[in-house]
Chains A and B, each alone.
Chain A
Amino acid sequence: MPDTFLDSTELVLNMGPQHPSTHGVLRVILKLDGEKILGTDCIIGYLHRGVEKIAENRTYAQFNPYVDRMDYVAAVSNGLGYCLAVEKLLNVEAPPRAQAVRVILTELNRIASHLLWLGTHALDIGAITPVFYCFREREEALKIFEQYCGARLTTHAFRIGGLQYETYEGFERDVKEFCRMFPPKVDEYEELLTNNRIWAGRLKGVGILNGDDCKEYGVTGPVLRAAGVKWDLRKAQPYSGYEKYDFEIPIRENGDTYDRYIVRMREMRQSVRIMEQAVEAIPEGPILGKVGKVIKPPVGEAYVSIEAPKGELGYYVVSDGSTQPYRVRVRPPSYINLQALDKMVRGALIADVVAVIGTLDIVLGEVDR
């Protein structure tokens, strides 16, 4: 056999944009030595719709539905962040009833988002069963959204200054029923995965990102918390009344894919805990604060961020005193977390890239905007 046959040279492999494990239209160019990754280059922008440009050509209220189309599996969170940013500019606050309902719907959406992540992530790894279970429970969450506002995915649930709609008859009952039904289902998923040897073998020690690297790359959300940094904006800089609820920030130490899995599983349980407390004490009162029909914030700028399911979601809004925002900048957690992919997969195998993309929990609608 000639020497050249085994002579290892670098190989460049294209993955995506239509690869099923890239969760949309992410293209990753991999530089390989055999099966080992020497470097990556992410090509993004396939889903770029110019959301920030659209914002400058719509009124504040008109732009509200557009934000749902960024992270479309966590539309409620997107809406909350945008509404909070404009409310900050207007210097108004949503009334207590609106805040409580906002918290319930946002946490419900966090669960729905994490369920989609769990199902597809497990599917990528080769565990086919969890996705059916996850979608079964996600359906229950989406039904509540549908009852509340008629939409399941791009909900447009909130309005600047409060809520879009009053809650429907039986809303509390449905939420309580979800909170009762859901934790045993998480046990079910955990039974399937947590101590599963194949699952642990595929995830443990894969895609390690330690706390310092997370800060250096600006990585937030469950990825940061799995690296031992106890930081959650709901606790650090509470908004929408989160300071009233008793919940924990789950953290792990290793910063590998398995730890990120554990952190998200525990977060779902904490979300249930928050919802239980919020639904017990939804105050009576108006659902809309003192905002005019025409929203016209004074000249100025504000940056407001929330803890979205994927990490810190921020809106930097600049007002020139007119009815249209002069500039809306979205600080998308998926985009910034994705940048750490290269660091996480260097030296790993191709199969690990799939695991790491899954564990970063990116949504390309938000990466590309």
Chain B
Amino acid sequence: MADEQKPGGSEAPSPPPGEGAKPPAKLAADAAKPAPPKPAAAAPKPPATMAATAWDSDLARAVKERFGDGVPATSTYLGQDFVVTRPESAVPVLEYLKLEADFDYLVDITAVDWPKRGERFDLVYIVYSFPHNQRVRIKTQIADGFEPHTATGVHLTANWLEREVFDMFGIRFAGHPDLRRILMPEDWQGYPLRKDYGILQQDVRWVQENLGIESGQ
């Protein structure tokens, strides 16, 4: 379970240091052995950040011009375009895209948890334009406890999508008309898709009270 909290995905802090502590003399030599391949493996290591490039188009320029500092970057990766916004600009950008650029279909809202980062969550909106057959993502970084404004005023479908993000990550959407848990039981404690929520973790009290068993495992 401990290994699930490594967003860097590096092999460096795994076995050698832990095992080496127990029988020091013998394993010191062994530990030296697996060490050499590591720098070798590290050499062709892919970059630790997404190799996104700047996205430049009429739409990207229009969004940047309209929102100024609210949109620090427009990028593209693997041919998929996204707009990076400040947290408070995400919904205005959605609204702008809907009303002025025909992005009339909100495909999805989701989040990604990066617990080691100051602004812990990536909040991701995916929109699509039927007239232009184009898809754009809107990404914003928010801190734990920050309450982004709801997008239900722009797209009705945001209702359940935001409820699921709240249910799974504990991100509360300010002004949401009906912010209840949707997939988990209403009185469940904890937010399962946070990285610090273990794969075997459960709300033991809930399980005991409602299912009448000691443990769900």
Binary interface encoding of chain A residues 51-87 relative to chain B, with 1 for a CB under 8 A from any of its CBs, else 0: 0111011000000000000000000000000000000
Q: Are A299 and B156 in contact (CB under 8 A)?
A: no
Q: Are B78 and A89 in contact (CB under 8 A)?
A: yes
A52: which B residues are within 8 A, CB to CB?
A: 168, 193
Are A316 and B183 CB-contacts (below 8 A) given A298-B51, A301-B50, A302-B78? no
Assembly CA distance A217 to B105 (angstroms): 8
Closest CB of chain B to A216's CB: distance in Å?
5
Assembly CA distance A112 to B104 (angstroms): 32
A275 at the interface (CB under 8 A from B): no
Assembly CA distance A53 to B9 (angstroms): 17
A348 at the interface (CB under 8 A from B): no
Binary interface encoding of chain B residues 89-117 relative to chain A, with 1 for a CB under 8 A from any of its CBs, else 0: 00000000000000011111010110000
A287 at the interface (CB under 8 A from B): no
Binary interface encoding of chain A residues 138-171 relative to chain B, with 1 for a CB under 8 A from any of its CBs, else 0: 0000000000000000000000000000000000
Assembly CA distance A327 to B9 (angstroms): 13
Are A303 and B183 CB-contacts (below 8 A) given A54-B199, A320-B7, A322-B9? no
Q: Are A326 and B7 in contact (CB under 8 A)?
A: yes
B37 at the interface (CB under 8 A from A): no
A267 at the interface (CB under 8 A from B): no
- Interface size on A (CB < 8 Å)? 46
Q: Are A301 and B192 in contact (CB under 8 A)?
A: no
Assembly CA distance A186 to B183 (angstroms): 37
A213-251 with Cβ < 8 A to chain B: 215-219, 229, 231, 236-237
B10-49 with Cβ < 8 A to chain A: 45-49
B168: which A residues are within 8 A, CB to CB?
A: 52
Option from A45, A53, A231, A302 in Cβ contact (under 8 Å) with B182: A45
Residue in A closest to B157 when the chains form the complex, CB atoms: A218
Closest CB of chain A to B106's CB: distance in Å?
6
Assembly CA distance A140 to B46 (angstroms): 47
Residue in B closest to A57 when the chains form the complex, CB atoms: B199
Q: Are B155 and A216 in contact (CB under 8 A)?
A: yes
Q: Which of A96-104, A174-182, A195-203, A328-336 contacts B (4 or more CB under 8 A)?
A: A328-336
> Binding site of B, secondary structure by majority: helix, strand, loop or mixed?
loop
B104: which A residues are within 8 A, CB to CB?
A: 215
Closest CB of chain A to B102's CB: distance in Å?
11
Q: Are B157 and A300 in contact (CB under 8 A)?
A: no
A129 at the interface (CB under 8 A from B): no
A57: which B residues are within 8 A, CB to CB?
A: 4, 199
Are A302 and B156 CB-contacts (below 8 A) given A314-B108, A318-B112? no
Which interface residue of B45, B182, B195 has the most chain A CB atoms within 10 A? B182
Closest CB of chain A to B104's CB: distance in Å?
5
B83 at the interface (CB under 8 A from A): no
Closest CB of chain B to A78's CB: distance in Å?
16
A218: which B residues are within 8 A, CB to CB?
A: 105-107, 155, 157
Q: Are B130 and A215 in contact (CB under 8 A)?
A: yes
Are A300 and B7 CB-contacts (below 8 A) given A218-B157, A236-B133, A318-B112? no
Closest CB of chain B to A95's CB: distance in Å?
20
Residue in A closest to B50 when the chains form the complex, CB atoms: A300
Closest CB of chain B to A369's CB: distance in Å?
8
Q: Are B182 and A303 in contact (CB under 8 A)?
A: no
Assembly CA distance A301 to B183 (angstroms): 25
B107: which A residues are within 8 A, CB to CB?
A: 218, 303, 305, 312, 314, 331
Assembly CA distance A335 to B184 (angstroms): 14
B8 at the interface (CB under 8 A from A): yes
B63: which A residues are within 8 A, CB to CB?
A: none
A44 at the interface (CB under 8 A from B): yes
B137 at the interface (CB under 8 A from A): yes
Q: Are B156 and A216 in contact (CB under 8 A)?
A: yes
A302: which B residues are within 8 A, CB to CB?
A: 77-78, 80
Q: Are A53 and B193 in contact (CB under 8 A)?
A: yes
A276 at the interface (CB under 8 A from B): no
Are A329 and B9 CB-contacts (below 8 A) given A53-B193, A300-B50, A336-B157? no
Assembly CA distance A218 to B160 (angstroms): 11
B143 at the interface (CB under 8 A from A): no
Q: Are B159 and A339 in contact (CB under 8 A)?
A: yes
Q: Are A299 and B50 in contact (CB under 8 A)?
A: yes
B45: which A residues are within 8 A, CB to CB?
A: 321
Are A321 and B48 CB-contacts (below 8 A) given A52-B193, A215-B130, A218-B155? yes
Are A216 and B157 CB-contacts (below 8 A) given A44-B183, A88-B78? yes
A48 at the interface (CB under 8 A from B): yes
A91 at the interface (CB under 8 A from B): yes
Assembly CA distance A153 to B22 (angstroms): 50
B6: which A residues are within 8 A, CB to CB?
A: 322
Q: Are A368 and B183 in contact (CB under 8 A)?
A: yes
A50 at the interface (CB under 8 A from B): yes
20 example contacts (A-B, Cβ-Cβ < 8 A) are as follows A48-B183, A52-B193, A57-B199, A88-B78, A216-B157, A229-B130, A236-B133, A237-B133, A298-B46, A299-B46, A299-B50, A300-B77, A300-B78, A301-B50, A301-B77, A302-B80, A314-B108, A316-B126, A320-B8, A327-B112
